[in-house]
């Protein structure tokens, strides 16, 4: 779709999913969150969010992964639009339509992605022209991952994940994602992680040289070896079949495998497009995996694909 083919009373934003290449989790903080040192990487699985002027606020979800997404005010995209309206002093209701292709409760930040997309779309529709910093501040209030979904690419995250810093990363990476039928609750996975580490001294997390070197060199093999996720043991404890899926992917030739965020999606890094196709076929044939998706990264953050031209 181009700007010319949609009515100027709506704006459509495309937004990617994310995987954490490195997710190091510090001790639990007083506010219940954990300090993180993470490397976010946006990948080419996309949701599309369209906002249109309407008589009253509304939200609908369509597309291949619409099932299980809330359509009431608890949807993060709806909260994003309301928060932006308040910040911008806007009193113009919008209807939000989410075309969902990112797995729901899959550890790929699908809900956060929709919130980031809603911010960009509404900012455009309402003609607010907020700065990136202003949008990032609202994004951080919505969730730890939301600022990154505005930015996209590959970036370091610290604080509870909302503080972004650039990272020197070369190359395009090929991924195969093994999706699970059920979802995992992020708070439940963090709580299980705390439980598993009880009585142990947990250091403040800092980026590892292995990950930084791999990204700087653009070496997929080194990156495959460096993939790390401190939440992985907790996700596997809550969903033991994830361990079997990781084993299967490595056996079928992946360069590396890691649970994505809090899971249950498992991300496998492979050499190229052909290797991605081979691994996707093998994982599907093994019966160990319900659904697979191929993608590449890094991908751009939330960006307008259709809408009114700026005046």
Q: Tell me whether residue 107 is annotated as binding.
A: yes
- Which is the catalytic residue, given 47, 123, 145, 230? 145
301 CB contacts (<8 Å, ≥6 apart)?
15, 16, 42, 116, 148, 149, 150, 151, 152, 153
Taking the least distance from each CB to ligand C5P, the nearer of 177 and 190 is 190
> Which residues in the chain belong to E strands, given as ranges?
10-28, 34-53, 58-62, 94-99, 154-158, 163-166, 173-179, 228-229, 256-259, 266-270, 291-297, 303-306
Min CB(51)–ligand C5P separation in Å: 22
For 122-147, letters b (16+ CB in 10 Å) and e give bbbbbebebeeebbbebbbebbbbbb
Min CB(133)–ligand C5P separation in Å: 19
* 171 in Cβ contact with 218 (< 8 Å): yes
Min CB(32)–ligand C5P separation in Å: 6
The alpha helices in 56-131, defined as continuous H runs, are: 76-88, 110-125
Q: Tell me whether residue 112 is annotated as binding.
A: yes
Taking the least distance from each CB to ligand C5P, the nearer of 161 and 183 is 161
Active site annotation includes 145: yes
Q: Tell me whether residue 106 is annotated as binding.
A: yes
Taking the least distance from each CB to ligand C5P, the nearer of 161 and 297 is 161
**Burial class of 187 by CB neighbour count within 10 A (0 to 12, 13 to 18, 19+):** exposed
Binding site for ligand C5P (CB under 6 A): 32-34, 36, 143-145, 160-161, 186-187, 190
Rounded to the nearest 5°, which phi and psi values hold at 204? -65, 135
Q: Tell me whether residue 103 is annotated as binding.
A: yes
* 43 in Cβ contact with 16 (< 8 Å): yes
Q: Tell me whether residue 70 is annotated as binding.
A: no
Rounded to the nearest 5°, which phi and psi values hold at 153? 75, -140
Active site annotation includes 230: no
Taking the least distance from each CB to ligand C5P, the nearer of 72 and 91 is 72
Min CB(296)–ligand C5P separation in Å: 25
For 260-286, letters b (16+ CB in 10 Å) and e give bbbbbbbbbbbbeeebbebbbebbeee
- Which is the catalytic residue, given 18, 47, 114, 230? 18
Taking the least distance from each CB to ligand C5P, the nearer of 17 and 275 is 17
Min CB(261)–ligand C5P separation in Å: 9
By DSSP bridging, strand 94-99 and strand 58-62 are parallel
Q: Tell me whether residue 152 is annotated as binding.
A: no
Q: Tell me whether residue 105 is annotated as binding.
A: yes
Annotated binding site: 103-113
**Which amino acids are annotated catalytic?**
18, 145
């Amino acid at each position: 779709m181009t700007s010319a083919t949609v009515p100027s009373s709506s704006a459509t934003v495309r937004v990617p999913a994310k995987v954490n290449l490195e997710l190091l989790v510090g001790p639990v903080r007083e506010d219940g969150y954990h300090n993180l040192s993470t490397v976010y990487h946006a990948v080419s699985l996309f949701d599309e969010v369209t906002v249109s002027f309407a008589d009253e606020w509304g939200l609908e979800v369509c597309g291949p992964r619409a099932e299980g997404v809330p359509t009431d005010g608890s949807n993060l995209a709806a909260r994003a639009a309301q928060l932006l309206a308040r910040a911008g002093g806007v009193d113009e209701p919008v209807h939000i339509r989410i075309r969902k292709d990112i797995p729901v409760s899959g550890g790929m930040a699908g809900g956060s992605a929709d919130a980031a997309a809603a911010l960009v779309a509404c900012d455009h529709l309402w003609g607010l022209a907020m700065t990136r910093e202003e949008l990032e501040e609202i994004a951080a209030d919505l969730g730890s991952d939301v600022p990154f979904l505005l930015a996209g690419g590959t970036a370091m995250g610290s604080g509870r994940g909302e503080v972004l810093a650039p990272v020197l990363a070369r190359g395009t990476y090929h991924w195969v994602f093994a999706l699970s039928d059920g979802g995992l609750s992020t708070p439940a996975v963090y709580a299980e992680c705390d439980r598993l580490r009880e009585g142990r001294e947990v250091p403040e997390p800092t980026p590892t040289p292995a990950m930084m070197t791999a990204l700087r060199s653009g070496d997929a093999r080194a990156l495959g070896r460096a993939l790390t996720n401190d939440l992985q043991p907790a996700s596997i404890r809550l969903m033991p079949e994830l361990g079997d899926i990781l084993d299967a992917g490595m056996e079928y030739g992946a360069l590396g495998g890691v649970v994505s965020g809090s899971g249950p999606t498992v991300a496998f890094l492979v050499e190229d497009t052909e290797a991605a196709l081979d691994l996707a076929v093998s994982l599907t044939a093994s019966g160990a995996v319900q659904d697979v998706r191929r993608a590449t990264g890094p991908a751009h953050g939330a960006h307008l694909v259709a809408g009114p031209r700026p005046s």
